[in-house]
Homo-oligomer: A and B are copies of this chain.
Amino acid sequence: MVSAVINGLLTGAESGDDVTDSPLKGLKDQAGIRHHWINSGFGALPVNSLGQGWNGEYVFNSGDLVLDLLHNFFLENGARMAKIRVYETTDHPIARQMLGYLFVRGGVHALAYAKALEELTGVDVKKMLPIPNIPDADFKEARRFTDQGMHGKLYRFSETDFEGIRQLWTGTHPLDGTPLEVIDGLPETAGGMADPPEAPAVSSPGLHPGELAEVVQKLMRTM
How many Å lie between the Cα of A66 and that of B110 in the bound state? Answer: 14
Chain B residue contacts of A27, Cβ below 8 A? 89
**Contact at A67–B56, with CB atoms within 8 Å?**
no
**Contact at B66–A128, with CB atoms within 8 Å?**
yes
**Contact at B88–A77, with CB atoms within 8 Å?**
no
Q: Does A149 contact B (CB under 8 A)?
A: no
Partner of A122, one of B127, B171, B202, B220: B127
Q: Does A102 contact B (CB under 8 A)?
A: no
How many Å lie between the Cα of A61 and that of B201 in the bound state? Answer: 15
**Contact at A166–B223, with CB atoms within 8 Å?**
yes
* Interface size, chain A (Cβ < 8 Å): 102
**Contact at A203–B55, with CB atoms within 8 Å?**
no
How many Å lie between the Cα of A215 and that of B207 in the bound state? Answer: 34
Q: Does A159 contact B (CB under 8 A)?
A: no
**Contact at A49–B38, with CB atoms within 8 Å?**
yes
Chain B residue contacts of A66, Cβ below 8 A? 128, 131-133, 206-207
Chain B residue with the shortest CB-CB distance to A23: B88
A-B contact pairs, 24 of them (CB 8 A): A3-B35, A19-B84, A20-B139, A24-B85, A29-B31, A40-B62, A41-B61, A45-B56, A45-B59, A47-B57, A50-B51, A63-B204, A64-B131, A64-B203, A64-B205, A66-B128, A67-B78, A67-B81, A88-B202, A121-B127, A122-B127, A123-B125, A133-B208, A171-B222
Residues of A within 8 A of B (CB): 1, 3, 19-20, 22-25, 27-35, 37-43, 45-67, 70-71, 73-74, 77-78, 81-82, 84-91, 117, 119-125, 127-128, 131-134, 138-140, 164, 166-168, 170-171, 199, 201-208, 211, 215, 218-220, 222-223
